[in-house]
Structure 1
Amino acid sequence: MTDDLWIRNFHPAPEAPTRLVCLPHAGGSASFYFPVSRALSPDIEVLAVQYPGRQDRRSEPVITEVGVLADHVVEQLGEAGDDDRPLALFGHSMGALVAFEVARRLQARAAAPSALIVSGRRAPHLQREANVHKRSDDGLVAELKALSGTDADLLGDEEILRMILPAIRGDYQAVETYRITPGPALTCPVLALVGDSDPRVDIEGVGGWEEHTDAEFERKVLPGGHFYLVHEQEAVLSAIRTRVTPRPVAV
């Protein structure tokens, strides 16, 4: 069994032919993927990752390295080693980097995922210098407002801000200090999703993910900004189903 501190299964679907592990954005939590889990069940079993430092794990230290987060996720998935169903990965923004590193680690263990779906993130070798995590609290809040990923009412509530800013700052540190290490290309297909008006992620940079797989690559551009997937949920769900649903074997 996986540790339910790390892996949340909102809608168990043991009969589903495939599983999808979802990794949140900076400051995000497993609950962000509750609607995805509800919509895909029972055809796809969704496992949502809960990082330390937020919600019911708020008392735990925030992990500020993408690789360490990936190590923990792989360890937890390994606890469910008796489940041989195909496993796909989905990550948005910071979660895309974590998902990529999880995929690399699984492949190194001869347990490559069936697919990697990355969202709202340029390719890992196109990392840009940034120091948002070193800004003041006001500067960090300004970045969140620019991305429109957090409800404006929450950003105006000082008590709530004090609770969520440490996790957001730590997550930004993880992203901004991440540097890809050399390694083999993935053997699984990669689907890269992006909003056409994302203020931080250019469409060309998203196309760079093609360099990280020896299998099929597809880039899909949808209407919206950094959190396009909230408003384009049906299109995202359709893309997930198409990519991760096992295909009939030709005879």
Structure 2
Amino acid sequence: MERAPARLVLLPHAGGSVAALPWRARLPRAVAEGVVDLELPGHGRRFGAPFAPSLRALAAALAADIRAAVGDVPVLFQGHSMGALLAYEIARERCAQGGAVAGLVLSGRAAPRWPAARDAPPRHLCADAVLVDELRRLGGTPAEVLAAPDLMDLVLPVVRDDFRLVETYRWEPGPRLRVPAVVLGGRDDPATSPAALAAWGEVITGPLRVEHWPGGHFFPYPEPQRLADLIGHYAVAAPLPAGAHAG
């Protein structure tokens, strides 16, 4: 079977690992064989690696890793929550370097210019007990992990630093990305209102499609096959020319 024309980069939510994303195992074979073997520092098999100083610095480093791995082959980026923001910034970096971006599949994240609700204090500065309560509220961490102190001692520093990356991120003006994109949000996730998702059109010219799926912040997890099918569709679609920007 031939590999899909676009390589795929998967980017997880805060504290997550690419290997643990449930839709990865459900991708069409031609797409799965083109997944770029990428992991964030401090996550998964790179556990213990130094954390990045900022989300933009992390995006630049990952863009360089991707370019070394695939050269100018078109890349499709899929990211959830923090991963969606990181996918967007890596795509910006790749386009600026003349690399090809086949598209973006973004979920669980308001547009980068959308005003964020500020926590007081920010989550990355909260006490461990408060951070655990936040993870429980969001619903993306298995109950057995939350109930295991030894596991949480390993998980919390990673989650805390990921929250730092997101909460200290500031969007910087630049050309809009002229790439196809689909933006997904959970109907019960207050952070991804229709307006917050539509605002991605301020930074991506598209064609841009916005959809609301049933569920809260981690809405793709109960239906991983649905997201895998969507990713597969974009991975086999004809990519745009390399480095496409629009003013």
Question: Normalized against structure 2, the TM-score is what?
Answer: 0.88
User: 2:157 and 2:84 mapped to 1: Cα distance?
Assistant: 21
Equivalent position SS for 1:126: coil
1:31-110 to 2 correspondences below 5 Å: 31-33=19-21, 35-44=23-32, 45-47=34-36, 49-82=38-71, 84-110=72-98
> For the structure 1 residues 14 and 160, does the alpha-carbon distance in structure 2 shift closer, same or farther, using more than 3 Å as the test?
farther
In structure 1, the partner of 2:157 is 166
- Residue identity opposite 1:125 in structure 2: R
In structure 2, the partner of 1:232 is 223
Conserved in 2, the CA contact under 8 Å of 1:147 and 1:199? no
Q: CA deviation at 1:239?
A: 2.0
1:1-251 to 2 correspondences below 5 Å: 15-33=3-21, 35-44=23-32, 45-47=34-36, 49-82=38-71, 84-128=72-116, 129-130=118-119, 131-247=122-238
> For the structure 1 residues 54 and 234, does the alpha-carbon distance in structure 2 shift closer, same or farther, using more than 3 Å as the test?
closer
> For the structure 1 residues 43 and 195, does the alpha-carbon distance in structure 2 shift closer, same or farther, using more than 3 Å as the test?
same
- Residue identity opposite 2:198 in structure 1: G
User: 2:217 and 2:108 mapped to 1: Cα distance?
Assistant: 6
1:164-218 CA-partner distances (Å, limit 9, x unpaired): 1000000000001101001000011121011111143323201111111223010
Q: CA deviation at 1:153?
A: 1.3
Q: CA deviation at 1:43?
A: 3.8
User: 2:25 and 2:73 mapped to 1: Cα distance?
Assistant: 17
Conserved in 2, the CA contact under 8 Å of 1:207 and 1:219? yes
* Structure 1 range deviating more: 226-235 or 168-177: 226-235
Q: Which runs of 5+ in 1 are unaligned?
A: 1-12
Equivalent position SS for 2:92: helix
> For the structure 1 residues 115 and 67, does the alpha-carbon distance in structure 2 shift closer, same or farther, using more than 3 Å as the test?
same
Equivalent position SS for 1:175: helix
Equivalent position SS for 2:141: coil
> For the structure 1 residues 151 and 89, does the alpha-carbon distance in structure 2 shift closer, same or farther, using more than 3 Å as the test?
same
Conserved in 1, the CA contact under 8 Å of 2:104 and 2:180? yes
* Structure 1 range deviating more: 54-63 or 187-196: 54-63
> For the structure 1 residues 147 and 190, does the alpha-carbon distance in structure 2 shift closer, same or farther, using more than 3 Å as the test?
same
Equivalent position SS for 1:230: coil
Report the number of matched residues. 235
The root-mean-square deviation of aligned C-alpha atoms, in Å, is 2.0
